Amino acid sequence: MTIPIVPTSQLVSAHGYLDRVIEELRVLESPQKNTLVNVLQYLSDHIRITRDEIGALRTGGANPQMFSTTADELEEIVTETARAANRIMDAAEAIEQAAAEAPAPLATKLTDAVTNIYEASAFQDITGQRITKIVRALQSLESKLNSLVCAFGPLAEGESAQGRDGDEALLNGPQLEKNASSQTDIDALFDSL
Amino acid sequence: MALKDMRVFIVDDYNTMLRILRNLLRQLDINNVDEATNGDTAYQMLQRTPPDLIISDWNMQPVTGLDLLKKVRSDAKLKHIPFIMVTAESKTENVVAAKQAGVSNYIVKPFNAETLRAKIASVCPAMV
């Protein structure tokens, strides 16, 4: 028996190829064919089930724009918080200017309060970086899901390996608070190097 | 040289953070502050007018703060300038990489005014 090899990475083509092999095996008279046919049929059935499940993703009401919409909304949060932070800063700078004309004890109190506002305003930078990380994760997930749904094939070689190396591997953004190093930790580490 | 005469260059891709840094520096009587929002522009500006101190974020694209630090340290005209990294990247490997690249000190975000003052004092003792 000669079966033409169809070079493709697409699951849909591979499935058709598998079914053709099964049909060609069925007509053989070899006594060992049944075991092989059963195994191949088992594989074929599972591929069909998987295809149906992925097909349901396309037709089952899932919004294909869900990820990009969510990413857009998260980016909007970054924009809005930046706007809010700048308004807070406008107000703090106005207080600081007024403090310069106030009597000494009051001026000191006002300036200290303004310093606290400046420090606290850094939240926008931290939350912005965290949200950006989430947006990138969503975009990556969206890309992979689209590949799966549209091409219906396995991930391209190397696509699953998202490992970064060199300096790029050092860019991880803010750590979660429970894992984060404090300034004291950083100082101790820095001094030990 | 006194703090008020000190020329500081700050780099961060978040305008809000640049504004925070500028305000906190002003409270330290440092008013001579230049700024850039990415490492590439920063390097060009630094070459034109070398400052007394560089304070840079790490996580910027396409030229990161670490890239900028390496460029500064390999530039004969700039390599002597104190360089403080101010970043949310707080893993051990980050601090090690920055130290190996020649960073003068390291501030982890979020930070407070006293930490900023202390780090400036540590890298520019003659000015504080």
Task: Write the CATH number for B119.
Answer: 3.40.50.2300
Q: Are residues A120 and A151 in the same domain?
A: yes
Within-domain flag for B128: no
pLDDT value for A164? 67
A91, part of any domain? yes
- Return d(Cα B41, Cα A135) in angstroms, integer: 26
Average pLDDT over residues A151-169: 56
Q: Which residue of A has its CA nearest to B104?
A: A190
Considering the domain boundaries, does residue A179 fall inside one?
A: no
Q: Which of residues 25-84 of A touch B (CB under 8 A)?
A: 82
Q: Minimal Cα–Cα distance from A16 to chain B, Å?
A: 46
Examine residue A183 and state whether it is found in any structural domain, yes or no: no
Looking at the structure, tell me whether residues A87 and A37 fall in a common domain. Answer: no
Residues A68 and A150 in one domain: yes
Chain A environment of B15 (Cβ under 8 Å): 82, 86
pLDDT band for position A56 (cuts 50, 70, 90): low
What pLDDT was estimated at residue B125? 82
pTM score of the predicted model? 0.71
How near does any CA of chain A get to the CA of B46, in Å? 22
Among B126, B124, B119, B103, which residue's Cα sits nearest to residue B24?
A: B119
- A183 touches B: beta carbon within 8 Å: yes
**pLDDT band, residue A152 (cuts 50/70/90):** low
The residue range of the domain holding B87 is 3-123
For the segment B73-92, the average pLDDT, to the nearest whole number, is 95
3-state secondary structure of B8: strand
Number of domains in chain B: 1
What is the predicted pLDDT for the residue at A2? 47
Same domain? For A92 and A149 the reply is yes
pLDDT(A92) > 70: yes
Task: Verify that A73 and A91 share a domain, yes or no.
Answer: yes
- Please state the rounded mean pLDDT for residues A155-163: 43
List, for residues B44-79, the tens digit of each pLDDT value: 999 999 999 999 999 998 999 999 999 999 999 999
Contacts of A177 (CB under 8 A, 6+ apart): none
Q: Cβ–Cβ of B27/A115 closer than 8 Å?
A: yes
| pLDDT at A3 (0 to 100) | 47
What six digits make up the tokens of B114? 């006293």
The verdict on A149 and A74 lying in the same domain is: yes
Kindly state whether residue B11 falls inside one of the protein's structural domains.
yes
Q: A6-10, A70-74, A88-92, A123-127: which has the highest mean pLDDT?
A: A88-92
The contacts of residue A126 (CB under 8 Å, 6+ apart) are A174, B88, B109, B110
Is residue B40 domain-resident?
A: yes
Task: Report the pLDDT value the prediction gives residue A31, as an integer from 0 to 100.
Answer: 75
Residue of A nearest to B60 (CA): A171
A126 and A88, same domain (yes or no): yes
| CA of B16 vs chain A CAs: smallest distance (Å) | 7
pLDDT at B56: 97
User: Does residue A111 sit in the same domain as residue A98?
Assistant: yes
Q: In this structure, is residue B85 part of a structural domain? A: yes
Give me the percent of chain B exceeding a pLDDT of 70.
98
How many pairs of residues across A and B have Cβ atoms under 8 Å apart? 108
Residue at A46 is within a domain:
yes
In a domain, A167, yes or no: no
Whether residue A172 lies inside any domain: the answer is no
CB contact under 8 A, B64 and A171: yes
CA distance A140 to B28: 43
Q: Is the pLDDT of residue A63 over 70?
A: no
Q: ipTM above 0.95?
A: no
Question: Inter-chain contact A124–B16, Cβ cutoff 8 Å?
Answer: yes
- Is residue A39 domain-shared with residue A71, that is, in the same domain? no
Say what the pLDDT of residue A80 is: 86
B47 Cβ contact list (under 8 Å, min separation 6):
B75, B77, B78
Minimal CA separation from A184 to chain B, in Å: 10
Closest in A122, A167, A185 to B17, CB measured: A122
In this predicted structure, what is the pLDDT of residue B9? 98
Looking at the fold, whether A70 and A15 belong to one and the same domain comes out as: no
Q: What is the mean pLDDT of chain A?
A: 78
For tokens 């050092």, the residue is A170
Q: Would A144 be classed as within a structural domain?
A: yes
Number of folded domains that form chain A: 2
Please name the member of A92, A181, A193 whose beta carbon is closest to the beta carbon of B108.
A181
Q: Are A184 and B111 in contact (CB under 8 A)?
A: no
Query: Both A67 and A151 in a single domain?
Result: yes
User: Residue A147 belongs to what domain range?
Assistant: 63-155
Task: For residues A79 and A116, state if they share a domain.
Answer: yes
**What's the confidence (pLDDT) of residue A150?**
65
- Higher pLDDT: A51 or B92? It is B92
